[in-house]
Structure 1
Amino acid sequence: MNIWPGFSIRTSLNKERAGRREAILLVSGVLLLVLAAASICMGAVPVTLRELAEALTTGETATSAGRIIWFVRMPRTLAAILAGSALAVSGAVLQTVLNNPLASPSIIGVNAGSGLFTIALAAFFPGAVRYTPAAAFLGALFAVFAVYGIARKTGASRMTIVLSGVAVSSFLSAFTDAILTFVPDTQMNRMAFLIGSFSGVSMDQVRFAAGYILFGVAVSVVLSYDMNVLALGEETAASLGLRTGLYRMVFLVTAALLAGSAVSFSGLIGFVGLIVPHAGRMLVGQDNRYLIPLCVLLGGAFTLGCDIIARVLFAPFELPVGIVMSFLGGPFFIYLLLSRKGRKSLD
């Protein structure tokens, strides 16, 4: 005889929900692996799965297929995975901490701050290129706190945060354009950087930024429960013993680190941090303990998919991946603004 039937039903539902979420994470991981293999195999020179397997098991670079895999396709694939994961997690963190479903690195000026500091480093300190991730992080951090500070001063409503982000982004972008105008010999592919592209990314760039991204993702995963508590509201979180000011600072710095590290090698790609967290919440709900890992997988898969489309849609010509993402992200952002849920979020 079950003395607490309600407890038994709740336990069963929780187990079923957890099992469903774990299945979604597994499917997302498989999807990411499939797209990674497709990204390496597809291109101007096709690579077979057998050649890919041989290259991965032997590390062979003597053959033409091996050189293509290790020096061209592998860096690009890893760059897309890391950038997509970093921007998706950054967007999820910003939306939770700022309590605004419209927040994302590209919309509230984080990408613009990273871009300005990265361009400035390349223009004025060309010998310090190895510090690009650090410069991008500082730029992202500056933009985050500028937007948050302006929003706090003017009421911190959700719409104010978005408008502050647009203003800060425009201001920082103007500085970026000015630098590129007055220092035209800046040592970087300006169009690829401003639009966002993985073409020409080297393994050294990916390897250097990977440590920052993995650290930021690890912090987000470890503190995901505290993020759930913070999402309950400042007063409720404080009553539960959470030091809201400290944790908000940690989360904003983490979001800036992730976005800045991604921008340092991918350029100003946008909308990953907006689309992926919303898709993740549709699949696993609001619990950040599941949402953050799912954003890692879906962010990488989404960015890889967009990069594959950019490479094959008009082959042999190649679009920058930022263009594809803008075609997808622009309408999605408008949908959020026009939907009933989006209208409520602006109150």
Structure 2
Amino acid sequence: MPSGEDAIRKKKNKLIRKKLRSESNKVSNRIAAIIAQKKRRQSGKRRMCQGMCFSLPTLEDPFNDGLMNKDVKKKDKKKKTKKDKQSKNVDIVTENGSDVSQNKRKANQSIGSKGKGEISKRARVKIESTQRDKKGSDTKLNGNVTKDEGCPSKFLISCLKTVQDMMLHNEAFERGKPLFFDSWGFEFWRCHSSGTHVLETRGGASMEQIAWIGASAVDTITRKEKEGVSFTSPYLLFLVPSQEKATQVRAVCKPMKAFGIHTVSLHPGASVDHQVLGLKTCEPEFIVCTPDRLLELVSMEAIDISGVRSLIIDELDPSTGDAYLDSIKSIRKLISVDPHTVLFTSGLIDTYLSAISSLLPSPMCKLS
């Protein structure tokens, strides 16, 4: 027999032996299906005790399916309890007598009709209002005080930083100390936010105090304008006894022009016609002036101060004389609203107590 036929025969016999071995190990289709089903049930969800202990098969349960049937029954019980809970939740009725499940179904139908990413305006307003209520309840600490009201805004701090950067080389400023760390300024801001009038008895206003007064006013103007409030007359009126102090105050307020705040200085050092022309060309938010020149411009109808919201009176003491006090009283009568008033004085003398009480109505806070 040729060698080629021997190789073919060997290969054929090898295939026959392989087939016989596979048939001897083969089980019936039914038993194979049961074993596969059992393996699928046991994969990944066996308890620790089931993996460690084994029970022998019996005549009633030759394939040990009883353990798996117990697990299936437990799963069915869990499903039933979940369904029962869901059915109970569906039966919950709100205080107004409307069914919660019906409201949910209506909301889902409206969302489905308008698209997944689109919600009706009325629903969106309700969501925003509930979120605001939740935020308000979370942020409330004591009464009407919230976390946001406990410190000045970032905008106010940026105003202070702008003033300090511009006045870095001014000797009147205390070097090495940021303005927003000034304790007087923080107390003033608290009084300004609550609408409490301020009395300072340590003399005239310093550069740091002027910066805090101006920055707080800028912050209030910006917030009110966002709410839709417009100011037709100047917002802040800073009364000073001399031209030199008016120049100092304007130097501190001038950097706030970066935030859209214009400051005008009115004093006897400039001509009346020049100041009238300046008031016509711009509408200043801050006015720094001496009382006599301001009364002169008001009589000429060059300026309207009836809507001033913040009145700062600087250096009200015996050295300025009674004429200064009388002019301030006349100016106060021209303001129709109740402005937030800050009074700087170097002492409380009997002749000035009645004037101070008339210029500073309650509530009033003495900072010094």
What range is the shorter-chain TM-score in?
under 0.3
TM-score relative to the length of structure 1: 0.23
- Choose between structure 1 and 2 for higher RCO, CA contacts under 8 A separated by at least 6 residues: 1
> Which has the greater radius of gyration?
2
Greater helix percent: which structure? 1
Greater strand percent: which structure? 2
TM-score relative to the length of structure 2: 0.22
